[in-house]
Amino acid sequence: MCVIRSLTVLLAVCWFIGLVGCGDDHGHSDHGHKDHGHKDHGHKDHAHKHEAKYGGALVGLGDHKAHLEFVIDADQKKFFMYIWDGEVEHPIRIKAENVAVKIKDGPTLTLDAQANENTGEKVGDSSTFACDLADLKGMTKFDAELPDITIRDETHKDVHFNYPRGAEE
């Protein structure tokens, strides 16, 4: 009898804690962000972080609408920019043949769209852009800016970031 009473009290306490827990059913598991803006729900104590797919520098755009990932790939001898959705899960193609990246106190790089037979991406309809690693002139840490990039009909101007830290909004 004492065991049943203890279990009943324990279940009641668990139920109560679950009831008052966060107090705001805003669906952390639903990362579509259709019902709310992340800046609106007042949970500053647990920031929404994303992981870069290829271990590069992640740059958030437009309140989690898209991300850019910059990667130095020593094996391929290339500097890549990948365009991802807001959750860094799916690539987003853009209609551009190249993208300019201005390195502070350094060169302006031209990253060319990369074709990919496996995904059907082609120049002018790609989510991946790259230039030769030699264009960085040995730099592995730098501040940079994209003057502008248009993703899903939204133009982002003066996008500043640091490599390798990135710039999450």
Q: What is the DSSP string of 60-122?
A: EETTTTEEEEEEEETTTTEEEEEEEETTSSSB--BS-SEEEEEETTSPEEEEEE--BTTTTBB
Per-residue pLDDT 10s for the chain (169 aa) are 544 444 344 444 333 334 334 444 333 333 333 333 434 444 344 456 789 999 999 999 988 799 999 999 999 999 999 999 999 999 999 999 999 999 999 999 999 999 999 999 999 999 999 999 999 999 999 999 999 999 999 999 999 999 999 997 5
Q: Are 151 and 94 in contact (CB under 8 A)?
A: yes
Predicted local confidence at residue 64, as pLDDT: 79
The model's pTM is 0.72
pLDDT of residue 48: 61
Provide the pLDDT for residue 59: 97
Structure confidence at residue 24 (pLDDT): 40
Query: Whose CA is closest to 101, among 139, 64, 66, 53?
Result: 139
Q: What integer pLDDT is reported at residue 123 of this predicted model?
A: 97
Give the closest residue to 31 by CA, choosing from 91, 88, 93, 94: 88
| Nearest alpha carbon to residue 93 among 121, 67, 65 | 121
Q: Which one of 2.60.40, 3.40.50, 3.30.980, 1.10.357 gives the CATH number of domain 57-163?
A: 2.60.40
